C-alpha cells in the first residue's frame, strides 16, 4: 500500500518560464520513455513475483514508488514553465497575441484541456498507453526491459538537458539523470545475481529448440555473401552454450504457400453460379489472368 | 530495398486445425511481443545509424528482413488453423452451431473482418501500434531494447509451445524459439563490441549528473530501514564508475508545491465578483474548508 | 512524494480460483472505470491546483495514494484467481485440455504476455490509456468528473459482486464498494463547499454567453411538438440564474454552408484544363448531375 | 431515426481567417471534451434505457441530435479559418513560404490528409476514440457523466473564447457556451427528479458494503495526523445515510503478498536443473541476494 | 442540422436472444467496417466540399443521416440479444452459473461497463477510433473510400447473416445488406459522373510525375523473371493515359545510405573522450567489428 | 520470405535541410495514408488468398516489397532534413536558440525519442496503428481498398510536392507520385479481370437481400422533396442488376424502441425498496417527470 507526503522528492525551480519546454517535458511524463511507464511497469512486474523473489519484489516496488515522485516533479516543472511568475507575465501581457501564441502554439491541450497544467500525454499530445508497459512474468526478461527503459529514459533526459539553458531545469534534470544512472546499474546488478538467465526464458529446455538454427546468423542478402567474420557470425556465444555460425542464405521451404478457401466467408470475389453464367465467363476469359482463377469459380 | 520470394523461410504445417490456437498466434504477429514489432523496430534503428556503424546497420537490416519472413510464417499458421483441410471440415460441419462457435468464439474479427485470415492485431484483437517500437537513435539503448524484445518474444513463443500439442505447430515454434535464442545472443554480442556503453547514453558527460544520487539506492519505505545489504545497496556498480550506497529515506524538499494561478484559463471554481458578492461570501464561509480559499476568491 | 509498505490495504483471499473472473477483474484495474484511471486522475488534478486550494489538493493526493493501493489489491486478486493453490491445480491438471482452455480462453495475454499475472489492460485486453483521465484545471469540473468516476467505478464493482460467488472476492468487493461510497460522498461534499460552481466554469462572465439560448430546451423533433412540461422545459434552473423555457424547433441559419475551394490542396476531383478539354466536357455534360459542377471545372 | 437539413443550427462567420485557431477548434470536435463525444454518448445512453424512462430517453436523444449540429458548426468554422476568403488569400499569397507555413505549421494533417478541412481528431491531431464515451446503463451515473462532459466542454469553449478576437468566432462560441449552460442545468435537473440516486448505483443493497469503511476518510500520510476537521472528515454525508469519520492511518493486512509460481509459464528466470547445477549454484550463492531464491530454484 | 424521431428506420426483432451474437454485432457498430465509421466519414467529407459540389454534398449528408439510423438499429439488436425477454430469462435463470457465463463470457464490457447494452467498440471490445475515417478533401478519392467502406461493410453484414439463424436478425441484416448494395452503387455512379478522375488527384499535372515509372510494374523477385504478361504488365492502362510495361528488377541507387551524425542527441553509444581514453580503446579494438567505428569515436 | 540490399530503390537527396518538412514527411511513413499501411495491407491481403488466386497473390506481395522500400526512402529523407550537412549546421549553429527551436518545435519526438531520426508515427506524432489496415479476405473488396489507399496516398504526396521547393525532395516525390499512379492503375486493372465483382461480396446470393431497398435512394430530409433526378435516383445501376429509384422519406417502423430492464446490472437509478420508501416516493412524485418512472421503481 502507498503513502504520500506533500513535498517533492527534489526541488524544482524555473528561472525563466518557457511554454515550449513545458511541451517537451510531457515526453518524460506520459511518453514511451517517460515516468508513468516505469512507475507502473515496476509495480506490475513486482505483483507477478512469487514469494522466493522477495528481494526483487522489494527492489521493484520501492523503485516504483520513487518513480511516482518523479512524475510529480515533472508535473510541477510543467506548470511552472506554463504559468510563469506574476512578475513576468501579467494580465496585459497574456492578452497580447504573442503571449497567446506561446500558450497555445505548443501543446494546445495543456491550455485548452488542462488550464495550463501537466497532462498524462507525451510531447506530441498522444495519451499515455498501457501498451508501453512490459511485465512478462519472467524476472530476467523484465530486468532487461528495465535496463532498456532506463536507457531510453536517461537518453531522453539528456536531450532535454541539452535543450534547456534554465539553471533550475538543468538542476532538476541532472538529478533525474543521476537516478537513471543508478537505476540502470541496479537492474544490471540484479541480472548478475541470477544464475544464468540467457537465453530468456532460461527455464525452457533448450534441447527442444531447433538445433540447426539457434546459433546461426542467417544472411538475407539477395545474393550470397562470404562470412563477414563479425563477432556475431563466429566465436563463442554470450550465453556460453554455443558457437556462432553463418548461413549465407535463407533456406526456404520450396513451396508457394496458400490457404484453403472457406465457403462461409463470402471471400469469393466473383458473382457465383447463375443462369447467365456462360455469357459472363466469356468476358471473364478475355480479362482473367489465368485459367486457375476461372477453374476455382466454376468449381463452386 | 527489399525483395521477396514466394516460399516460406521454414515449413509450416498443422495436423489438427485449432481455431483457438489461431487466436493465440495473433499475439506473435501483432502483439507487444510480436514479429511486426521487431521487424519495424530493427529497420527504424538501422535507418538512424551514421556511416561509421555500417556493421550494425547491416546486422539490424538483415535481421529485420528475417523477421518479415516470420510474420509470413505465423500468418500461414493462422489460416491453416482457421480453415482446416477440406477433409476435416466440410461444408456441412461448418454449418453446425458448434463449428460456427469455434470460428467466432475466438477472435471474432478473424472471421468477421478478415474471412478466416491473420490480422495485424494481438491475441485480444487489439491493433498493432507503432507505440511498441523502440528506436532511440542511440545504438546501445537500442541493443538493450532488442535483447528485451527477443527475451519477451522467446518467452511468448515458449508459452505457445507449452500450450499446443500439434506436432507441426511445435516444430514451427521450435524453429522460432531457436531464432530468438540466436537473436538474443547476437544483440548481447553486439553490446559487448561497444567500448563502454553503460550508463546509456555514454556520450553524456557523467560529471554533469548529480553526484549525490547517481549510485545510491533510495528506500521508499514508510519507516526508515537499515541497509539490507543487497548487491544493489553496496559494492561496485556494473558500470565500474561507482560504489552502490544506501539512503534509508527520500530526502524531500520540505515544501508544499503549488503552481501559480492563471487568470486566462477560467480555472476558478467559484463564481467571480458580482454585486451580490458579499452575500455569497457569507455562505462560503460556512462551507469553505479554509480562509485561504476565500482570500483567493476575493483577490480577483 | 510517495512511500509504500509491503502489505495490502485490505486482505485479499480467493477460495476457488476462477480464471474467467481474473479476466473480468481487469476492468477494475486498467479499464475506463478502473483504479489506474482514478489514481492518476486525482494526481494530475492535484498538481494543477494553486496554493489557496491546499485542502482540496490534500484531499485529491491522499485519495490518489489510496487508489494506488486498490490497483495492488486487484492485481493480487488476479494472480490468485489465475494461479490457484498448488493443491487445487497440480502440474498434471494444468496439462489437460480443459485447464489449458481455462488459462487461455479468457484474456490470452494474461497467460501469453504476463505469465498468469495482472496487466495494465481492461477486461477485453485493451490497454489503459491516458485518454480516460479528466483533469481540466477547474476544480468544480474536476469534482464532477470525480463523482462520475466513482459512480461508474462503484457500478462496475457491484456488477463484479453480482457475478462472483467466491466469499473472498465478495469480501474484497464489499470493501471496494464501501470506499467508492465514501469517495462519491467526499467529492459531492467538496462541491458543496464551493460558493456557487454552476455553470462550470463559474468564473466566465455569464453575460457574455448568448442570452437567448442559455436556458432553453431546443427540441430536435422533425415536426414541432407542444411543450411537454418536463422539469427541464419549465421552472427554475438548478444554477438559480434562470428559468427553463422550450423551443419547439431548431432555428437554423437559413443557408447552405459550403467552404471556399483551396487551389493548393489538389482537391479538384476532375482532371484540369488540357488541350482535349472541350472533348472531355462533352462527356461530362452527359453525366454530371448539374451545371454548377461543370462551371466550377471550367473556371479553373 | 435521423433527419437533416442543409443549414446550420446557428450562423458561423469568420472575419479574419486564422489557421492556428483552426487547429485549436479541433479540440471541440474530436477531443476528449468535444462534441463527437457528447453526441455519441447521449445516444448510447438513450439506447440502453427501458421503456419506463421514456422522458429521459427523449431528453438524451434530442440533445444528441443537437450536438450533431454543433459538430457541423465547428467543422464549418475550421474550413473558414483554414481557407479564408478569396479576397484575403489569393493564389500568389498561398505560394509564399509564410502562407505555406501557416497552412502546415499547425495541424499538418488538416492540410496533408484533409485538404484544409476539419477532421475527427483533437487539437494535437490525436484521433477521436470511443474510449471517451461513458454510458454505464445506470441513468444516475450517466447523468453525472453528462454534467461532467458539459462542464469540461464549457470550460474548453470559454478558453477558446478567451483566445480569439474574431467577432464571428466569439459569437459562435457565445452560442455554444450558452448551450453548455443549458445542458449542465438540464442534466442537474434530471438528477433532481430521481428519488435518491446517491451513492450510484442506488439499487445495490447498501448493507452489503463494508460498514467500517463506507463513510471514513482514510489518511495516506506517512505519519499519522490529527483529524483536520474538514467537511469530508466529519459531519453528515451528502447521501444522508451516514456520518463522515476520520482514520489517521491505512489499516493494512499485515502480510507481504506474493502469488504462487506457475510452472507452465516459463517464469523462472534461471536455467533449470542440469548436470552442472551444483557448479552453477556456487556462483549463484556469491551473487544471489538471499537464500530463499536459491531454495526456490533447487526445489524444481 | 439534425432531427430525430423516436422510431427505428426498420423493424428490429430477435426471436431467440443470443449474447454471443450481441458481441459479434458490435463489429457493425464500432468496428473498422462499422456504421459509426461511415456515418462520420460521410459527414466530414461533405463538410469539406465547396459550393459547386452541392449535389455530392447532399448525397453525402443524407446518406450520413441514414447511417446514424443504422447504428440505432444495431444498438437495439444488441440490447435485445443481451437482455432477452422476461419469459425466456427470468431472474432465477440469470443467477445460474451458465447464464452468468453467457453474459460475461462474450464481451465482458457489455455487462461490466454498459449494463447489458451496446457500446462504441468493435467485436473484440476495441474502442472506435477516428483513425478509421477517410476524408481527404478530394471527392474522387473519397468516393473510392466510400465504395471500399460499403464493400467491407456489406461483407461483414453477409458474414453476420451466415452466422445467425434467428429470423429477426436475418431480416434486419437482409435490410442492411440491401442498403449496402444501394450505397455501393450510388458511390460508383457518383464516380462515373466525374469527368476523368483517375489517377487521383486528377488535378495534379501528370507531366510532373516521373515518366519512367508511372506505368511500369517493377518486380521485386530476388532473381529476374521474364514478363509474366499479366493484364497489369502489358496493354493499355485503365486511366487511358499510358501502356503498362514490365521491369524485371528494381533499379536501385547503388549507394549505401546513412545519415550524418548529430552531436546534440547523445546518440554516440560509447563513452566519449576521457583521460583514460587510450586504455579504453585498446579493449575496444579487440571487440569492435571494424576500424570505422573506432575512427568515429576518436574523431569527437 | 524477404531479402534486402543496402541501397535505396531510388535516389534521395536534400539540398536544403528543412526540419519542418521532416515533420510533414512522417505522414507518408506512419500516417493513415502512408507506406507502412500499404506495405502491411498488401501482405495480409496476399496471405489470405487461396491457391487459385496465385497471380493476385504475386501482384500483392511484390507490391508490398516495393512499398517497404518506400518507407526506407522516406526515412532517409527525414534524417537528411533533420540532420543537415556538416557544412550547413555546425555545432555552434545548433546551440543557438533558433536551431534548437527548429529541432524541437516540429515533432518533438523526432529529437527527444529518436535522436533526429524517422519514427513509426504520423505528422502529428500519432503512432501507426494496425487499425489503418484493410484486409477483408474478399479480393474485390481488398482491391477497392487498395485503389482508395493509393488515391489518398497520391493525394498526400502531391500536397507534399506542392509544399516543398527543394529539388531533391521534389524529385523523390515525383518518383513516389509516379509509383502511386502505377499502383492505382494496377489495382483498377485487377478489378477489371474479375468477372462481376459488384456488389461486394459478389458470392452472397443477392435474392436474399431486401428487394425493396437495394436500389432506392432514401431521402433523410426533414420534409419530403420531389425526386431531384440525380444519376443516383434514376436510371440503371452500375452493377447492371437494377434501376435506381427514389424514396422521399424514411419509412420508419412506427414504434418507440426500448430494451427490457436487466435486474443483475444495478441499472436502476433510484434506491430500491426500503422501509422509508413511502416517504421517499412523496418527494419523487413532486419531481419525477412521469408516472411511468415511479411505476417501474415500485414494481421491483
pLDDT digits (tens, 9 = 90+) for A6-54: 999 999 999 988 888 999 999 999 999 999 999 999 999 999 999 999 9
pLDDT digits (tens, 9 = 90+) for A208-254: 999 999 999 999 999 999 999 999 999 999 999 999 999 999 989 88
Interface B-D, measured as beta-carbon pairs within 8 A, has a size of 23
Chain F within 8 Å of B5 (Cβ-Cβ)? yes
Residues in chain F: 300
Determine the average pLDDT of the residues in E12-24: 90
Question: DSSP 3-state assignment of C2?
Answer: strand
Question: Is D189 in contact with C237 (Cβ distance < 8 A)?
Answer: yes
Grid cell locating F5: 540490399
Q: Are residues A102 and A246 in the same domain?
A: no
Residues C189, C223: one domain? no
Q: Residue B280 has what pLDDT?
A: 40
Q: Which of C169, A94, F242 is nearest to B263 (CA)?
A: A94
Strand-pair partners of B184:
none
E59 to chain D: closest CA residue:
D6
How deeply is C282 buried, as exposed, middle or buried, from its count of CB atoms within 10 A (0-12, 13-18, 19+)? Answer: exposed
Summary mean pLDDT of chain D: 85
Same domain, B226 and B151: no
**For position E33, what pLDDT does the model report?**
97
- Predicted-complex ipTM score: 0.87
D193: its cell numbers: 427528479
Shortest CA distance to B259 belongs to which of B248, B269, B267? B267
D244 and D108 share one domain: no
- Contact F292/D111, CB-based, under 8 Å? no
Cα-based distances in Å from B187 to A138, E40, E282: 19, 46, 22
Identify the helix (H) or strand (E) that includes residue B3. strand B2-4
Cα distance between residue B152 and residue A136, in whole Å: 7
Of A136, A155, A182, nearest to B214 by CB-CB distance is A182
Residue E106: pLDDT band with limits 50, 70, 90: low
* Residue D87 confidence class, pLDDT cut points 50, 70, 90: very low
- As a residue count, chain D comes to 300
Q: Where are the alpha helices (DSSP H) in F84-166?
A: 91-95, 97-104, 108-112, 139-163
In percent, the amount of chain D with pLDDT more than 90 equals: 68
Q: Could you tell me if residue F94 is inside a domain?
A: yes
Q: Tell me the mean pLDDT in the region B91-97.
A: 45
Contact A159 E265 (CB under 8 A): yes
CB-based contact, E280 to chain B, within 8 Å: yes
pLDDT at residue B32 in the model = 97
d(CA E95, CA C94): 29
Residue F60 belongs to what domain range? 19-193
The HSE-up count of residue C286 (CA atoms within 13 Å, CB side) is 7
Contacts of C104 (CB under 8 A, 6+ apart): B20, B24, B163, C111, C112
| Interface residue E266 vs chain A (CB under 8 A) | yes
Burial class (CB in 10 A: 0-12, 13-18, 19+), F299: exposed
What's the pLDDT at B90?
46
Question: What is the CATH number for C84?
Answer: 1.20.1260.10
pLDDT band at D50 (very low <50, low <70, confident <90, very high): very high
F246 and chain A: CB distance < 8 Å anywhere?
Answer: no
In a domain, E297, yes or no: no
Closest CA in chain A for residue D251: A1
Total number of residues shown for chain B = 300
Q: Consecutive sets of 10 residues in chain C, 300 residues long: mean pLDDT of each?
A: 95 90 94 98 97 95 97 96 59 46 65 92 95 97 98 96 94 97 97 92 95 96 95 96 95 83 84 44 42 37
Same domain, yes or no: F27 and F96: yes
Mean per-residue pLDDT for B99-107? 54
**pLDDT band with cut points at 50, 70 and 90 for residue B106:** low
Q: Which of F217, F179, F71 is nearest to B2 (CA)?
A: F71
F270 vs D contacts (CB less than 8 Å): 140, 194-197, 202-203
Q: What percent of chain A has pLDDT over 70?
A: 83
Give residue C214's pLDDT: 96
- Note the pLDDT tens digit of each residue in B224-241: 999 999 999 999 999 999
Chain D residue numbers touching B264 (CB-CB < 8 A): 159, 162
Band of residue B104 on the pLDDT scale cut at 50, 70, 90: low
Q: Look at residue E298 and tell me if it is in a domain.
A: no
| Minimal CA separation from A285 to chain B, in Å | 26
Closest Cα in chain C to F222: C222
Do residues A79 and A138 share a domain? yes
Residues E188 and E221 in one domain: no
Decide if C28 touches A, using CB distance below 8 A. no
Overall average pLDDT of the F101-129 stretch = 84
**pLDDT of the residue at E111:** 85
Chain D CB contacts of A2 below 8 Å: 220
Q: Residue E163: what pLDDT?
A: 87
Residues in contact with D172: Cβ distance below 8 Å, sequence separation at least 6, in sequence order: D10, D11, D12, D13, D73, D77
Q: Which of A40, A49, A71 is nearest to A149 (CA)?
A: A40
- Across the interface, whether the CB atoms of A252 and F1 are under 8 A apart is answered yes
pLDDT category at B85 given cuts 50, 70, 90 is: very low
Averaged pLDDT of chain F: 85
Q: Is residue A51 part of a domain?
A: yes
Task: Tell me the pLDDT band of E196, cut-offs 50, 70 and 90.
Answer: confident
pLDDT for residue A89 is more than 50: no
* pLDDT tops 80 at residue A84: no
Q: What is the DSSP letter of B129?
A: B
Domain total in chain D: 2
Q: What are phi and psi of B229, to 5 degrees?
A: 55, 50
pTM reported for the whole predicted model: 0.90
Residues A52, D295: C-beta atoms closer than 8 Å:
yes
Q: Which residue has the cell 452451431?
A: B97
Same domain, D37 and D67: yes
Percent of chain F surpassing pLDDT 70: 83
F61 and F148 fall within a common domain: yes
Which residues of chain E lie closer than 8 angstroms to B57, CB-CB? 258
User: Is A70 a residue whose pLDDT tops 60?
Assistant: yes
Q: Do A231 and E159 touch (CB under 8 A)?
A: no
C-alpha distances in Å from residue A37, one per residue of A122, B32, B212, F44? 11, 14, 25, 31
Total residue length of chain C:
300
* In a domain? residue D199: no
Residues whose CB falls within 8 Å of the CB of residue F224, separated by 6 or more in sequence, listed in order = F248, F249
Nearest CB among D63, D193, D198 relative to C188 is that of: D198
| D222 and D98 in a common domain | no
Q: Are residues B138 and B171 in the same domain?
A: yes
Does B260 sit within 8 Å of C113, measured CB to CB? Answer: no
Using 50, 70 and 90 to split pLDDT, how confident is the model at E142?
very high
Is A267 contained in some domain? no
Cβ pair A44:C119 closer than 8 A: yes
CB F64 within 8 A of CB F46: yes
Residue B297 lies in a domain: no
Q: Is residue B177 part of a domain?
A: yes
Q: Find out whether B28 and B74 touch, Cβ atoms under 8 Å.
A: yes
Q: Which residues of C touch D237 (CB under 8 A)?
A: 185, 189
Q: How far is CA D202 from the centre of its chain?
A: 24
D97 and D218 housed in the same domain: no
Residues E162-172 have a mean pLDDT of 94
What pLDDT is attached to residue E272? 64
Max avg pLDDT among B195-199, C44-48, D88-92: C44-48
Amino acid at each position: 500500500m502507498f503513502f504520500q507526503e506533500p513535498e517533492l522528492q527534489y526541488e524544482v525551480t524555473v528561472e525563466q518560464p518557457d511554454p515550449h519546454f513545458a511541451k517537451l517535458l510531457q515526453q518524460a511524463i506520459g511518453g514511451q520513455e517517460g515516468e508513468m511507464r516505469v512507475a507502473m511497469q515496476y509495480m506490475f512486474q513486482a505483483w507477478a513475483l512469487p514469494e522466493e523473489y522477495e528481494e526483487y519484489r522489494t527492489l521493484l516496488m520501492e523503485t516504483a514508488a520513487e518513480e511516482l515522485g518523479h512524475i510529480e516533479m515533472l508535473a510541477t516543472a510543467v506548470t511552472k514553465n506554463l504559468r510563469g511568475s506574476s512578475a513576468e507575465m501579467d494580465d496585459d501581457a497574456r492578452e497580447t497575441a504573442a503571449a497567446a501564441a506561446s500558450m497555445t502554439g505548443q501543446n494546445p491541450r495543456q491550455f485548452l484541456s488542462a488550464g495550463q497544467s501537466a497532462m498524462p500525454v507525451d510531447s506530441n499530445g498522444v495519451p499515455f498507453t498501457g501498451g508501453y508497459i512490459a511485465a512478462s512474468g519472467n524476472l530476467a526478461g523484465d530486468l532487461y526491459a528495465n535496463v532498456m527503459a532506463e536507457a531510453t529514459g536517461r537518453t531522453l533526459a539528456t536531450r532535454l538537458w541539452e535543450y534547456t539553458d534554465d539553471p533550475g531545469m538543468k538542476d532538476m534534470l541532472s538529478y533525474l539523470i543521476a537516478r537513471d544512472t543508478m537505476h540502470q546499474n541496479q537492474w544490471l546488478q540484479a541480472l548478475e545475481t541470477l544464475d544464468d538467465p540467457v537465453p530468456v526464458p532460461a527455464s525452457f529446455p533448450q534441447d527442444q529448440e531447433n538445433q540447426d538454427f539457434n546459433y546461426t546468423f542467417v544472411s538475407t542478402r539477395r545474393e550470397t555473401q562470404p562470412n563477414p567474420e563479425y563477432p556475431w557470425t563466429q566465436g563463442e556465444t554470450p550465453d556460453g552454450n554455443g558457437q556462432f555460425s553463418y548461413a549465407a542464405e535463407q533456406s526456404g521451404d520450396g513451396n508457394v504457400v496458400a490457404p484453403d478457401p472457406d465457403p462461409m466467408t463470402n471471400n469469393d470475389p466473383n458473382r457465383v453460379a447463375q443462369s447467365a453464367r456462360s455469357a459472363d465467363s466469356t468476358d471473364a476469359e478475355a480479362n482473367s489472368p489465368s485459367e486457375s482463377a476461372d477453374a476455382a469459380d466454376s468449381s463452386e
